[in-house]
Structure 1
Amino acid sequence: MTKAVRYDEFGGIEVLRVDDVDRPVPEDGQVLVQVRAAGINPGEAAIRTGAMAEIFPSTFPSGQGSDLAGVVAEVGAGVDRFSVGDEVIGFSEKRAAQAELVLVDVDNLTPKPRNVSWEVAGGLYVAGVTAWRAVHSVQLEQGEAVVVSAAAGGVGSLAVQLARRAGATVIGLASERNHEWLQSHGVIPVAYGAGAAERIETAAPAGVDAFIDTYGGGYVELALALGVSVERIDTIADFAAAAKYGVKTEPGTDARPGAEVLAELAALIADGHLEVPIANVYPLAQVRQAYTELERRHTHGKIVLEP
């Protein structure tokens, strides 16, 4: 037997539990990964509550989670890219990553560089690929000004760095306690809340060219009020506003395979060109506590589970 996060009905954090389940057996093209770290994400909480049931229907008992990093424990027939003992980064498309052992399609894995920590690797997929696609979606050019909301969060903290690498002037909306971190990464920090539009205009006197919204709650409207054209606004959180105004939702026009983007991001991390802040690490048994912290929506970086 092995342990995995499960829930039997839509609901709040209280429906989560850790069960003993049968050891998975890899089929053709699958790899069994012994998980060392698994990231958690706001979208998983929305799926668990049933808020996204029309988009992501569930069957019960349901597992949870996409992000993972670990060691290959077994390979199925036809798998020749990985061997038992290899260290890998990847993702589950079956909402099953928050577990000790996870079956992963071989195409959803990439080697983990030795100098990338388990915590960083395990929390990379959703936030990293989302940030990468959002930045590519708004098509930044050298010297342009882009605003990123929730700039110190799991996705935002990566989006600001990737936007800087694209040559943009980056304005990060965040609480003041995260301003020092943003400044250390070449980002102009701006406090969110009342008066944010005026503060952004002061930070970008020539105007704002693009806007990446990683939080929701009116930032699409703020971007439009700042004069940003709809094709240069991308939201990963406010789908109602996207439908209403016609702005983008990542991945935009560049939907490279997730494992390919993961490999690129992992290489940037290994070379010291990209930082993934880790807000906290919890044992698998404390999955409820981990999501309690996540759902406060004030973390700096990623929260990760360690089976």
Structure 2
Amino acid sequence: MEGGSQAKKAGFVVGMQEPWQLPAGWELAKLADLIGADGLMVDGDWVESKDQDANGGVRLIQLADLGEGQFLNKSNRFLTEETARRLRCTYLRENDVLIARMASPLGRACIYPGLSEADISKMEAFLENILIILPAVRVDLFIQRTRPTPKVAPTAKAPSAEFILETKKHGLKANAVLVDGEFVVEAGSFARLAWEGVGSEMTSYGQLHQELRNEGVLQPQGAVNVFTKNYAFKSPSAAAAVVNGRPANGTVEWKTVDGLTYKEWEARQLAAAG
């Protein structure tokens, strides 16, 4: 008991107790759960020099960018979007935690700040001008991604392209299918009533959640939102973020009826195709 009291005073978690009040939207978790197959932590990408392109549009984040509690923004390496897709690179989101696994010092970490305030202001001004000049664009950007009811039949090549995301704590259950490269969440699926990712409201996922509510794709139903139409997302993570109302790793949160994560299912499809 004495050791536990000292640990609590020092700010350590004893068992699954909370030595301090967690911020809104945060949940207490064990490190073992975070690094497991269904966790939120992913390994960095290994991009060789031959795959880099100074004229590419995808920034490569390197160890030199990670300071002790500060994003240093030192590197200047790029690759093309085509190469990033081919190598299945992981795209960072604002407020992602970056942890170095190399020495000097080992385990240094920082929060990825995303776009600079100047870049965000430029983008917001651009979008505002677009919406003023072409009001219809605002609708087309989102509503044109609604889809008729998908008809997916299992085949030998794709034995299961149906996925489920369930968060019992919040009463959420969503169904999705992969059709022609689009990740379509089906009408009748549930999503969080509001965006709960504190500090990420202005990210693309946070804004998409709000836009889908504004346009009626998401309609309040008791303590949750319900999808009134099938909606095609550009990625499993975008779909998972809207369903959960926070940034999410969709490749591990969406699962087949057999319990495979999307990441595991996709790996099997690639192996079978090879």
Q: Same fold (TM over 0.5)?
A: no
Give TM-score scaled by structure 2 length. Answer: 0.27
Give TM-score scaled by structure 1 length. Answer: 0.25
- Larger CA Rg, structure 1 vs 2: 2
Hey, which of these two has a bigger chunk of strand by percent?
Answer: 1
Which structure is higher in RCO with an 8 Å CA cutoff and minimum separation 6? 1
